[in-house]
């Protein structure tokens, strides 16, 4: 009986690992495609892949990959589209988890999608906040939306110019409350989705996750599979580029 339970738990965790891996890979790609579509809608030509947005016709391995990359300093279709897709999908799949009479397999798929989309914004926002406490400014989509409100006469600005502009003004950015508005919104949305998704999934799969160690592995699976996923994403980012 114990051996059967152990085998069942192992098979489920292996299935969950593959599902989370593929889910993150898919939604990372969709996040970048959303940036591409958003940029195209405002008349900007960019290239997207599996990780970073760059200049049209350029790859991350090119030295001038982002020579024309513009920081708008406020929400624009190009910068807003990526996070917006993740927020929408995180909320959608979290809500779908509440549907009654769905199979465990479907619950796992919905859960992986909700968790993946949530993490794609929750982790960057958490990283931003930790670095902000340490006096360092990390640029993320939501973070950059507050720049123009702090320096209205300096944005939009080329990324190359911003790198020279930031060092002497980092403390000014970090001390302005408006910088934290959008990161806080993004953090709150994704935290709620993560909490609800994991809460439901732990109930649905309680027979597969009876041991505390299995629950921990289940919850931390995105962290466990992240190193090989990151390697694959960076390789694909240079090989697969879409010019919008």
Distance CA 229, CA 22 (A): 9
Show Cβ contacts of residue 83 under 8 Å, excluding neighbours closer than 6 positions. Answer: 31, 121, 141, 142, 186
Q: Report whether pLDDT(1) > 60.
A: no
Q: Which tokens sit at 238?
A: 């240079």
Residue 125: what pLDDT? 98
Residue 2: what pLDDT? 60
Nearest CA among 156, 147, 138, 145 for reference residue 79 = 145
- Planar angle of CA 134, 225, 221, nearest 5 degrees: 85
CB atoms near residue 64 (< 10 Å): 10
The answer to whether the peptide bond before residue 156 is cis (omega within 30 degrees of 0) is: yes
CA atoms within 13 A on the CB side of 197: 29
Show Cβ contacts of residue 220 under 8 Å, excluding neighbours closer than 6 positions. Answer: none
Model confidence pLDDT, tens digit, residues 205-237 = 999 998 999 999 999 999 999 999 999 999 999
Chain mean pLDDT for the chain: 94
**pTM listed for this prediction:** 0.93
Distance CA 28, CA 51 (A): 7
Q: How confident is the model at residue 123 (pLDDT cuts 50, 70, 90)?
A: very high
Q: Report whether pLDDT(110) > 80.
A: yes
Model confidence pLDDT, tens digit, residues 9-33 = 889 999 999 999 999 999 999 999 9
Average pLDDT over residues 114-138: 97
56 phi/psi in degrees, rounded to 5: -60, 135
Q: Report whether pLDDT(81) > 60.
A: yes
CA distance from start to end of the chain: 56
Are 33 and 241 within 8 A, CB to CB?
no
Nearest CA among 44, 25, 3, 48 for reference residue 119 = 25
What does DSSP assign to residue 102? Answer: -
Show Cβ contacts of residue 35 under 8 Å, excluding neighbours closer than 6 positions. Answer: 46, 48, 53, 78, 79, 81, 82
Distance CA 119, CA 184 (A): 14
Model confidence pLDDT, tens digit, residues 47-73 = 999 999 999 999 999 999 998 888 999
Model confidence pLDDT, tens digit, residues 134-190 = 999 999 999 999 999 999 999 999 988 988 888 888 899 999 999 999 999 999 999
Domain ranges of the chain: 2-243
Q: Report whether pLDDT(3) > 70.
A: no
Average pLDDT over residues 123-137: 96
E strand map for the chain: 46-48, 54-55, 70-71, 157-158, 242-243
Q: Which region among 3-17, 29-43, 116-130 has the lowest average model confidence (pLDDT)?
A: 3-17
Are 211 and 202 within 8 A, CB to CB?
no
């Amino acid at each position: 009986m114990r051996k059967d339970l152990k085998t069942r738990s192992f098979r489920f965790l292996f299935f969950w690992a593959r599902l989370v891996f593929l889910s993150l890979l898919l939604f990372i790609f969709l996040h970048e495609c959303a940036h591409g579509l958003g940029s195209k809608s405002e008349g900007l030509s960019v290239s997207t892949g599996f990780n970073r947005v760059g200049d049209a016709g350029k790859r991350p391995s090119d030295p001038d990959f982002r020579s024309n990359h513009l920081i708008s300093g406020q929400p624009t279709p190009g910068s807003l589209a990526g996070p917006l897709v993740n927020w929408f999908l995180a909320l959608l799949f979290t809500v779908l988890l509440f549907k009654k009479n769905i199979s465990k397999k479907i619950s796992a798929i919905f859960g992986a999608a909700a968790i993946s989309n949530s993490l794609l914004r929750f982790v960057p926002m958490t990283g931003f906040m930790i670095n902000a406490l340490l006096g360092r400014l990390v640029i993320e989509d939501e973070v950059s939306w507050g720049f123009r409100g702090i320096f209205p006469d300096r944005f939009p600005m080329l990324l190359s110019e911003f790198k020279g502009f930031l060092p002497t003004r980092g403390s000014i950015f970090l001390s302005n409350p408006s910088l934290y508005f959008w990161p806080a919104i993004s953090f709150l949305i994704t935290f709620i989705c993560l909490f609800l998704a994991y809460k439901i999934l732990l109930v649905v799969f309680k027979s597969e996750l009876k041991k505390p160690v299995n629950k921990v592995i289940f919850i931390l699976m995105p962290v466990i599979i992240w190193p090989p996923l990151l390697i694959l994403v960076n390789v694909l980012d240079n090989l697969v580029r879409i010019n919008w």
